[in-house]
Amino acid sequence: MDKAEAELKHGFTLYQGGVVPGNSLRVVDIAGVDTEACCGTHADNTAEVGWIRLIKSSRISDGIVRLDYVAQERAIEILNHEAGILNNLCETWGVDQSQIEGTASRFFNEYKRLGTQTKKQDQQILSLQVKLLLNSEENCFYVRSEQSDPTLYISFLPEFAEQFKEKKKGIVFIGSGFICGLLGDPTTLKIDDIKSKAEELSTKPIKLMNKNNVTFKFKDKKKKPINAKDVCQFMVTGADFNIEKLAEDFEHWNFKEME
């Protein structure tokens, strides 16, 4: 059909699968079900197409699901690739294919268990670092962090906000992609200085989070939530910070390294 004629008769529901190029359309009308403009492969029987391999499905909008699939030689390529993955896993894990599912399940469960243990240990280490600072004659420390992201510090440093404020202590954690800290005295360090240094050391745009009202809720509901005002919790994120250079900057700002 002529494209303008088809649109006038059937409307833009023709293009649920996407706009079809050209001035003429092949319109497939299944009475009482759907009418679509289609320029795809057409066969009397799917056997004519050969192998079909569904890759994924995605929900575009209400009532519309897009299926991504390959056929013929491309389907065989995908099947061979998937078989190759299974063979590599068998070789790496030292099992046959009948044992892959059970082995993968065991590995995943162990990964979750060890992940939980590691998280608890990280929290304990952070607590010890904070206690060392609170009992030290030094007011401010920086720590070279091996964490992949600042989630640990953002989540658990606020627990000590009131103690930091009382003793005017400060601690900063420096990672390859972040700078994160808590200052009991906001005048200890100018956040703009940190931001400027971070911008110098990052090839990508950085993001700054800074707040002076820090809250923390304990899992034990019997403990009173912490709401500390006039403290500074900040986080700068970017990419590939030079930790050595940042360490020099914090030394210049009178922060001591915590070994």
Measured distance CA(98)–CA(101) in Å, rounded: 7
- Report the CATH number that the domain containing residue 196 is assigned in CATH: 3.10.310
Instruction: Calculate what percentage of the chain has a pLDDT beyond 90.
Output: 51
pLDDT in tens, 2-32: 988 988 988 888 887 677 778 888 888 888 8
pLDDT attached to residue 219: 79
pLDDT attached to residue 90: 95
- Over residues 170-190, the mean pLDDT reads 91
Indicate whether 232 belongs to any domain. Answer: yes
Instruction: Calculate what percentage of the chain has a pLDDT beyond 70.
Output: 98
pLDDT attached to residue 77: 94
Better-predicted residue by pLDDT, 41 or 137 = 137
Ordered DSSP codes for the chain: -BHHHHHHHHGGGGGTT-PPPSSB--EEEETTTEEEE--S---SSGGGT--EEEEEEEEEETTEEEEEEEEHHHHHHHHHHHHHHHHHHHHHHT--GGGHHHHHHHHHHHHHHHHHHHHHHHHHHHHHHHHHHHTSS-SEEEEE---SSSHHHHHHGGGGHHHHHHHT-EEEEE-SSEEEEEESSGGGS-HHHHHHHHHHH-SS--EEEEEEEEEE--SSTTSPPEEEEEEEEEEEE-SS--HHHHHHHHHHTTPEEP-
Indicate whether 226 belongs to any domain. Answer: yes
Q: How many CA atoms lie within 13 A of 56 on its CB side?
A: 3
Indicate whether 197 belongs to any domain. Answer: yes
Residue 57 has pLDDT above 80, yes or no: yes
Total tally of structural domains belonging to the chain: 1
Indicate whether 252 belongs to any domain. Answer: yes
Considering the chain, what is the average pLDDT of its residues? Answer: 89
Indicate whether 229 belongs to any domain. Answer: yes
Indicate whether 190 belongs to any domain. Answer: yes
- Over residues 200-216, the mean pLDDT reads 85
pLDDT in tens, 217-227: 887 777 888 88
State the residue range of the domain holding 176.
120-257
- Going by pLDDT thresholds of 50, 70 and 90, the confidence category of residue 99 is very high
Contact 158, 126 (CB under 8 A): no
Q: Is 147 exposed, middle or buried (0-12, 13-18, 19+ CB in 10 A)?
A: middle
- Over residues 68-74, the mean pLDDT reads 90
- Over residues 86-90, the mean pLDDT reads 94
Residue 214 has pLDDT above 90, yes or no: no
pLDDT attached to residue 22: 81
Indicate whether 21 belongs to any domain. Answer: no
pLDDT in tens, 102-142: 999 999 999 999 999 999 999 999 999 999 999 999 999 99
Residue 168 has pLDDT above 90, yes or no: yes
pLDDT attached to residue 127: 93
Measured distance CA(187)–CA(231) in Å, rounded: 9
Residue 173 has pLDDT above 90, yes or no: yes
Measured distance CA(128)–CA(126) in Å, rounded: 5
Question: Directed axis angle between helix 191-201 and helix 243-252, to 10°?
Answer: 150
Indicate whether 247 belongs to any domain. Answer: yes
